[in-house]
Structure 1
């Protein structure tokens, strides 16, 4: 099994506000990436497990929200591993947009 792709995104919102923004903004962020579809999003407190489909492949992962950062861990199937660096950048950029202080 491949090593998971891990992205840590710092924020200054506090845990509750970060969770609220992620819950409301994750669908919008995913919808802006045409080759990706969120198949499952399951929250338990401040942690979320998810399953996405991209280019016909399934990737799984989890999001852990802390007081000052969000940790995203994604396990990519071998066909998507070649896009890992691009995915890491996209996750970081989308996460930072959702977690900026003004919310824009």
Structure 2
């Protein structure tokens, strides 16, 4: 059993714009880190994205929830990574904040 962690990344974009930027940014992240990831699966829903990421023989499952003033990132860390929980939360918050600062996607 893993250890669920959650972090809210604040923004002033509104839920729809935050989701558009994260969708765009997710493609950039896959390009940048795709060689380090065995599998990445994202299922986009209304106001959320469910994630399954496999790397280093470990599978991470989680979700992004797009709220009017924050993106809530929730990840269930496998026991192997649970000891790194606080650093994982910090990296998740940092990367999500970077994606939210990207220029708006072109229509």
Q: Which position in structure 2 is the counterpart of 1:10?
A: 10
Within 5 Å, give how 1:1-104 maps onto structure 2: 1-33=1-33, 35-100=36-101, 103=103
CA-to-aligned-CA distance 1:6-65 (integer Å, 9 cap, x gap): 011000011111010011101323444464455210011111101011221001001100
- How many residues are aligned here? 103
Structure 1 stretches of 4+ moved >4 Å? none
> Please, which runs of 5 or more residues in structure 1 have no aligned partner?
none
Aligned partners of 2:87, 2:38: CA distance in 1, in Å? 17
CA RMSD in angstroms, aligned pairs only: 1.9
Q: TM-score of the superposition, structure 2-length normalised? A: 0.84
> Please, which runs of 5 or more residues in structure 2 have no aligned partner?
none
Question: Cα 1:59–1:7, aligned 2, differ >3 Å: closer, same or farther?
Answer: same
Aligned partners of 1:72, 1:37: CA distance in 2, in Å? 21
Q: Which structure shows the higher helix fraction? A: 2
